[in-house]
Structure 1
Amino acid sequence: MFRGTSLRARLFIARLWLTRAKKTYADVGALHRSIEQSQGPGAAQPPATLWRRLSVRCREVDGRPCYTLAPKAPTSSKHVLYFHGGAYVHQIQKDHWSFFERLIERTGCTVTVPIYPLAPDHKSDETVRMIKDAYNELLGDTDPGDRVIMGDSAGGALALVLSEALEEAHEPQPKELVLICPWLDITMTDPALPELDRIDPYLAVAGLREAGRLYAGDLDKRDPLVSPLFGPLSNLGRVSVFVGTRDVLLVDARRLRDRARDVGVGLEYHEYPGMFHAWLLADIPEGHDALKRIATVVGRVREFPHETRESPA
């Protein structure tokens, strides 16, 4: 683990501040303007370079495209179902596709990416129904020991919601559940949030609260379907969490870590000092280090003890 922030990471953070990247979430009006731009035609399609380098297939589930990416000569039976972030209102980004390619290169795994419904046109019930159908239809023929559910930010919450639904239905848990900077509580009421908001160069509480409101619809914001931190968290499989200390969602990750310890869920916790939201998608040393750790999680087969473990800071 890094003990100091790399030069490339510091430059990346400085660029976020200089370009006012945070404004999208700091200003509710800016958030609404960004939604239309993010959800424009063609925004969710993989870049042309990916089609040349990987085997890419598209299949519809509930009328929504789902892209399956794999090496042209597969070397692993592991299958990752990945839910992208974007506060439930923003479409998948180009950096996500680059991250998938790097993960596939390291592990030889297959990655399937559902392009799930987004708010405000679609609410949480429709989104959750679609991700459950995607899991059953696209990973149904994969051995549970080869299944990995993964997601970042809002996608991390969807990954946890899906795992909880599998437990409720008495279905096998995936081999691994990987949560990257997960947004697990859309109430955004933790008392630590104002200080984290001050140092986060990308996310802000005001915009996340509005995005959560748009997504929840008629559901209470503490309903586990939209805030899975309030779910039972019982009998989950192996869980790994990655988060940075300059991320307003740090509070969600720490609360999940503490709850997992309380209920006896095995959880590996990786907290990166100085890192911002979803830094794993960036081409920086800390991102490469986290990707290496995630690749190990995807590829491992050993049993994981039911205890909470933290990587060294």
Structure 2
Amino acid sequence: MIGRTSLRAQLFIAQLTLTRAKKTYADVDELHKTIEQREGPESAGPPAKLWRTLSVTCREISGRPCYTLRPKAPTSSKHVLYLHGGAYVHQIQRDHWRFFERLIERTGCTVSVPIYPLAPDHKSDQTVRMVKDAYNELLGEADPGDRILMGDSAGGALALVVSEALEEARAPQPKELVLICPWLDLTMTHPDQPALDRVDPYLAVAGLREAGRLYSGDLDSRDPLVSPLFGPLSNLHRVSVFVGTRDVLLVDARRLRDRAADEGVELEYYEYPGMFHAWLLADLPEARDALERIATIVSRVRSGPART
């Protein structure tokens, strides 16, 4: 466990509480309203500032836009495929793009971002197929030692799904797999989650369970395609997990940590006391600390041969 909760983070959490940020996931009807109001993929691209400060390109993969962000003068061969969170039903947020900008400034890496299909218009098989295609097309030409798979929340789960698929195909694993507050078990039935729900200022079990239902379609909620916690781990390369203790998904991260230890998977685990879901995207001391750790992970040289 890392550090103590900063005053700035405490004030941020108080603001979340006062503005009833949790309502979206605590109230299933409210969740559906936000789904109806979300923007489409054509409006989800980088803000204007990034087009000025970075080299930005867009290509279509499986009918979906995929953006690639690079420094105007690249200094690193590392390439991150980032899968955004949003419970499979919400679009990428502006905070994500700010996070990518900070990561690129810190490391000189390239970041590619698929705007993948969302539920309920699309089901899990379509989403997973698209992100696999994005991985192969965007990172396929990079050396495995330069590939990093990263994602937050639902995107963290998708990143693990892609890695598990690579394992099953005996294809090279990415150098690093970075999971930020990952949502790894759609069942939302762990006995620790009701207590976590009571202290989580943003997420709630009821809304996540409904979002998971919309996304999984005909699949059982324990199917590794939608709940990768139940999939194979043994041949993954290095995994890093970031999570906070006021996140209803904390239990997923801890279970993954324990499974990795049992199966001999190299996993670095960073748990921040008092932190809420996806706090890394906010402007907080804890987020800056985590960014420094992630920058080190992205930039470091892989030890040992590529795992296939």
TM-score calculated relative to the size of structure 2: 0.97
1:87 aligned to 2:87? yes
In structure 2, the residue matched to 1:123 is 123
Alignment of 1:149-164 (within 5 A): 149-164=149-164
In structure 2, the residue matched to 1:173 is 173
Alignment of 1:1-313 (within 5 A): 2-40=2-40, 42-303=42-303
Paired residue type of 1:73: A
- Do 2:167 and 2:235's aligned partners in 1 also have CA atoms closer than 8 Å? yes
- Do 1:241 and 1:270's aligned partners in 2 also have CA atoms closer than 8 Å? yes
Q: State the Cα distance separating 1:41 from its structure 2 match.
A: 6.5
Deviations 1:179-236 (Å, cap 9, x if unpaired)?
0000000000000001000000000000000000000000000000000000121200
Secondary structure in 1 matching 2:226: coil
Q: State the Cα distance separating 1:4 from its structure 2 match.
A: 1.8
Q: State the Cα distance separating 1:38 from its structure 2 match.
A: 2.0
Residues in 2 aligned to 1:294 and 1:43: alpha-carbon distance in whole angstroms: 28
Paired residue type of 1:206: A
- Do 2:233 and 2:263's aligned partners in 1 also have CA atoms closer than 8 Å? yes
Alignment coverage as a number of residue pairs: 305
Q: State the Cα distance separating 1:82 from its structure 2 match.
A: 0.2
Residues in 1 aligned to 2:145 and 2:104: alpha-carbon distance in whole angstroms: 18
Q: State the Cα distance separating 1:7 from its structure 2 match.
A: 1.2
Deviations 1:115-155 (Å, cap 9, x if unpaired)?
00000000000000001101111111111100000000000
Query: CA 1:75–1:39 in structure 2 vs 1: closer, same or farther (change >3 Å)?
Result: same
Residues in 2 aligned to 1:42 and 1:49: alpha-carbon distance in whole angstroms: 17
In structure 2, the residue matched to 1:307 is none
Q: Structure 1: which 4+ aligned runs deviate by more than 3 Å?
A: 39-43
- Do 1:43 and 1:91's aligned partners in 2 also have CA atoms closer than 8 Å? no
Q: State the Cα distance separating 1:42 from its structure 2 match.
A: 4.5
Secondary structure in 2 matching 1:60: strand
Residues in 1 aligned to 2:40 and 2:133: alpha-carbon distance in whole angstroms: 25
Give unmatched runs, 5+ long, in structure 2. Answer: none
Q: State the Cα distance separating 1:36 from its structure 2 match.
A: 1.8
Residues in 1 aligned to 2:177 and 2:142: alpha-carbon distance in whole angstroms: 16
Paired residue type of 1:303: S
Secondary structure in 1 matching 2:74: coil
Residues in 1 aligned to 2:158 and 2:271: alpha-carbon distance in whole angstroms: 21
Secondary structure in 1 matching 2:149: strand
- Do 1:43 and 1:92's aligned partners in 2 also have CA atoms closer than 8 Å? no
In structure 2, the residue matched to 1:309 is none
- Do 1:2 and 1:286's aligned partners in 2 also have CA atoms closer than 8 Å? no
Give unmatched runs, 5+ long, in structure 1. Answer: 305-313
Residues in 1 aligned to 2:55 and 2:246: alpha-carbon distance in whole angstroms: 36
Cα RMSD for the two superposed structures: 1.2
Secondary structure in 2 matching 1:233: coil
- Do 2:148 and 2:178's aligned partners in 1 also have CA atoms closer than 8 Å? yes
Residues in 2 aligned to 1:190 and 1:15: alpha-carbon distance in whole angstroms: 28
Paired residue type of 1:167: E
Paired residue type of 1:18: L
Residues in 1 aligned to 2:230 and 2:47: alpha-carbon distance in whole angstroms: 37
Query: CA 1:295–1:56 in structure 2 vs 1: closer, same or farther (change >3 Å)?
Result: same
Identity of aligned residues (%): 82
Secondary structure in 2 matching 1:116: coil
- Do 1:203 and 1:277's aligned partners in 2 also have CA atoms closer than 8 Å? yes
